[in-house]
């Protein structure tokens, strides 16, 4: 049982307007990807952001009042809530929609890093193709999209990494094992940022930090995601059989441009989850994790230490190294992908210690810092110069003709884990070994018969009541493969459902 | 606590980078030539960036 995915909210800007309407722009952007009229298909019944993994349900979220205010404003618009969301389910099993005025691409569920990186990159192409079409309709290059997490004025939007976790692992064990790791994960996966922000309270220029999101972490644990953001989100929304699974929904991470950083972000987290499941995670609890994530982010020299609950002090690099060594001891030699993660993680930590220049083109924050310093030296700029923050923003532009990271990539100065052909293939089909791929297969084969879709279910029409294809406990590769064969060979959804229901599922495990 | 950071680079049994074709070299992730003096294209691209674009950039809070 291994499954992960990434949700990315993109920043969106109109170059020709002083004040754009973010609701309309995000909605129109998503719809520009369509080649036919929008039809509502997403089923929201599986979503419950108020359920907390600590075993209770919160009556409200801190964002509710703000959302209510926006809803009042949006109520006067000539379209419904569902029109505004414009939820699309793509032929690769991904979800593409307008989430809180940000175009969001959620990858289909993946079982291996290579698929995940390809689908994350496919998301960049989806949003850029939508922007290209939108710009053609607008008559010029007006809409720009950024794969980042801040507007440099105190407004952040997320890139969430998600992991299927056994419900049998006690949530407190996840908290204890993950918090010190997540506080220091930015050394590997930070996207870099110019300036220091706080929630909706402006920016202090003049410095460079590792992470885009660290400034916005305000508490250790919370079910909230838009205010009072936690290092470890406690939303209990498994999108799977709730008696057997959790979905670990991490909102602390940055959106990565680098494929290598994306792979290490998710790969190292996956290994730490494996350690926690084996009760082999190091005991490194910190006294003040929220402070620690900020001070680590604001120290590109990686010298700062924070206090552990034990009273000893520890640096971010030492934290990462302790997790690496535990993973090396417990997990090495078991499978190819695990060994690849271990090898690259270890080398990255060594390079961070000895010569971080070797990580240009691999880690985003190192690459961005190198680009900015190169430019600042050439143009004699200070960190406080507004141009530097503008270059930071442009690093994340997903237009290959403009984006700084993509320019570096085009010159062969970044480490790629995919080929263009693999990314193009990921636009068309989902992973062959997950329910995400099956969702995409349903969309490709039976689009006209689909009544609704969500992560764990596809509903087909054609009867008095719709019939459901339940994917809530479909994670074993043999079962996925069996259902794939059924869906590929069936002439209709009815044939597929009958054939699938006739199979003894116990034989597939 | 001082954890030694001298970690030996392991052999990569798993190569996430596609196998090279007959005309290509290497087998693992390629380490970019960042020391190359060929920064002109990038600097040119960076000079085209509107110095004020970050000041104008505004988003609503997301998740």
Q: Which range among A203-207, A374-378, A434-438 shows the weakest confidence by mean pLDDT? A: A203-207
Q: Could B46 and A391 be called an inter-chain contact, meaning their C-beta atoms sit closer than 8 Å?
A: yes
Identify the CA nearest to A361 among candidates A315, A409, A322, A399: A409
Chain B residues with CB-CB distance to A99 below 8 A: 62-63
Cα–Cα distance between A114 and A103 in angstroms, integer? 24
CA B8 to chain centre: 22
Supply the pTM of this predicted model.
0.93
pLDDT of residue A76: 83
Q: Which of A192-196, A419-423, B24-28 has the lowest mean pLDDT?
A: B24-28
Pull the structure tokens for residue A177. Answer: 């094992």
Instruction: Inform me whether the C-beta atom of residue B44 falls under 8 Å from chain A C-beta atoms.
Output: no
pLDDT digits (tens, 9 = 90+) for A25-76: 999 999 999 988 899 999 999 898 999 999 999 999 988 887 788 778 777 8
d(CA A375, CA A368): 11
| pLDDT above 80 for A341 | yes
A28's CB contacts (< 8 A; 6+ apart) are A134
Instruction: Write out the catalytic residue numbers of A.
Output: 99
Radius of gyration of chain B (CA): 21
Which helix (H) or strand (E) segment is A484 a member of? helix A477-489
List of E strands, A227-333: 230-233, 245-250, 305-307, 313-315
CA A460 to CA A494: how far, in whole Å? 8
CA closest to B5 among chain A residues: A350
Torsions phi, psi for B6 (to 5 deg): -70, 95
Q: CB of A436 within 8 A of CB of A423?
A: no
The reported pLDDT for the residue numbered A423 is 98
B2 chain-A contacts, CB cut-off 8 A: 318
User: Considering chain A, what percentage of its residues have pLDDT values greater than 90?
Assistant: 91
Report the pLDDT value the prediction gives residue A72, as an integer from 0 to 100: 81
A312: distance to nearest CA of chain B, Å?
7
Nearest in space to A63 (alpha carbons), one of A50, A74, A51? A50
The CA distance from B42 to A411, in Å, is: 9
- The alpha-carbon gap from A9 to the nearest alpha carbon of chain B, in Å, equals 8
| B7 reaches A (C-beta below 8 A) | yes
Segments of chain B with pLDDT less than 70? 1-38
**Residue pairs spanning A and B at CB distance below 8 A:** 188
Count the helices and strands in chain B (H runs, E runs).
Answer: 2, 0
Predicted pLDDT at B38: 57
Spell out the residues 6+ positions from residue A210 whose beta carbon is closer than 8 angstroms to its own: A186, A187, A190, A192, A193, A296, A297, A298, A299, A300, A365
DSSP letter at A203 equals: E
Say whether A155 and B43 touch across the interface (CB within 8 A). no
Whole-angstrom Cα distance, residue A455 to residue A89? Answer: 10
Buried b (16+ CB within 10 A) or exposed e, A41-54: bbbeeeeebbbbbe
Q: What is the pLDDT of residues A153-163, one digit of tens each?
A: 999 999 999 99
Give me chain A's average pLDDT, please.
Answer: 96
Instruction: Please tell me the predicted confidence (pLDDT) of residue A68.
Output: 82
The strand ranges marked E within A131-243 are: 143-146, 159-166, 193-197, 203-209, 219-222, 230-233
Which tokens belong to A219?
Answer: 């508490």
A217: which 2 tokens?
């972490």
Q: Which residue intervals of A9-63 are DSSP H helices?
A: 22-32
pLDDT in tens, A141-178: 999 999 999 999 999 999 999 999 999 999 999 999 99
How far lies B42's CA from each of A107, A361, A383, in Å?
30, 13, 19
ipTM above 0.90, yes or no: yes
Closest Cβ–Cβ partner in A9, A393, A415 for B54 = A393
Q: Is A226–B41 a contact, with Cβ atoms under 8 angstroms apart?
A: no
Position A375 confidence tier, pLDDT thresholds 50, 70, 90: very high
* Interface contact A102-B38, CB threshold 8 A: no
Q: Which of A105, A413, A416 to mutate to test the interface with B (most CBs of B within 10 A)?
A: A413
Whole-number pLDDT of residue B18: 35
């Amino acid at each position: 049982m291994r499954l992960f995915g990434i949700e990315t909210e993109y920043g969106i800007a109109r170059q020709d307007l002083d004040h754009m309407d973010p609701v309309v722009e995000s909605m129109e952007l998503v719809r520009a990807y369509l080649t036919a009229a929008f039809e509502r298909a997403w089923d929201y019944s599986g979503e419950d952001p108020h359920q907390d993994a600590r075993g209770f349900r919160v009556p409200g979220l801190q964002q509710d009042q703000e959302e209510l205010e926006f809803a009042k404003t949006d109520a006067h618009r000539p379209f419904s809530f569902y029109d505004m969301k414009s939820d699309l389910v793509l032929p690769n099993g991904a979800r593409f929609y307008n989430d809180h005025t940000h175009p969001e691409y959620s990858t289909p569920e993946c079982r291996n890093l290579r698929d995940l990186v390809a689908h994350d990159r496919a998301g960049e192409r989806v949003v850029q193709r939508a922007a290209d079409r939108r710009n053609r309709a607008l008559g010029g290059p007006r809409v720009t999209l950024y794969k980042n997490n801040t507007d440099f004025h105190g407004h952040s939007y997320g890139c969430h990494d998600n992991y299927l976790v056994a419900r049998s692992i006690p949530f407190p064990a996840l908290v204890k094992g993950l918090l010190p790791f997540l506080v220091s994960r930015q050394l590997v996966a930070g996207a870099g940022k110019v300036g220091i922000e706080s929630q909706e309270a402006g920016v202090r220029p003049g410095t460079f930090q590792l992470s885009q999101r660290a400034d916005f972490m305000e508490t250790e644990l919370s079910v909230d995601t838009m205010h009072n953001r936690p290092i470890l989100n406690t939303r209990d929304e498994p999108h799977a059989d709730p008696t057997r699974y959790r979905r670990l929904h991490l909102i602390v991470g940055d959106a990565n441009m680098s494929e290598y950083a994306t792979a290490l972000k998710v790969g190292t987290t996956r290994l730490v989850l494996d350690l926690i499941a084996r009760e082999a995670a190091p005991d490194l609890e910190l006294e003040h994790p929220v402070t620690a994530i900020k001070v680590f982010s604001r120290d590109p020299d990686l010298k700062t230490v924070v206090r552990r609950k034990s009273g000893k002090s520890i640096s971010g690099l030492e934290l990462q190294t302790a997790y690496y060594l535990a993973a090396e001891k417990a997990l090495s030699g078991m499978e190819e992908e695990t060994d690849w993660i271990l090898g690259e993680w270890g080398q990255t930590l060594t390079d961070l210690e000895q010569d971080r220049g070797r990580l240009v083109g691999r880690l985003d924050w190192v690459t961005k810092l190198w680009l900015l310093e190169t430019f600042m030296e050439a143009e004699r700029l200070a960190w406080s110069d507004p141009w530097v923050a503008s270059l930071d923003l442009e690093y994340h532009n997903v237009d290959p003709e403009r984006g700084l990271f993509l320019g570096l990539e085009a010159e062969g100065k970044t480490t790629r884990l995919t080929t263009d052909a693999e990314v193009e293939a990921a636009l068309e089909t989902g992973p062959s070994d997950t329910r995400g791929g099956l969702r995409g297969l349903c969309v490709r084969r039976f689009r006209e018969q689909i009544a609704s879709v969500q992560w764990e279910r596809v509903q087909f029409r054609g009867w008095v009541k719709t019939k459901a294809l339940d994917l809530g406990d479909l994670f074993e590769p043999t079962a996925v493969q069996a259902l794939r064969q059924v869906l590929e060979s069936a002439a209709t959804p009815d044939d597929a459902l009958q054939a699938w229901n006739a199979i003894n599922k116990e034989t597939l495990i | 606590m001082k954890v030694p950071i001298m970690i030996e680079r392991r052999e990569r049994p798993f190569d996430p980078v596609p196998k090279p074709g007959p005309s290509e070299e290497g087998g693992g992730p390629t380490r970019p030539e960042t020391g190359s003096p060929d920064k002109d294209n990038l600097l040119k691209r960076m000079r085209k960036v509107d110095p004020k674009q970050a000041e104008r950039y505004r988003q609503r809070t997301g998740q």
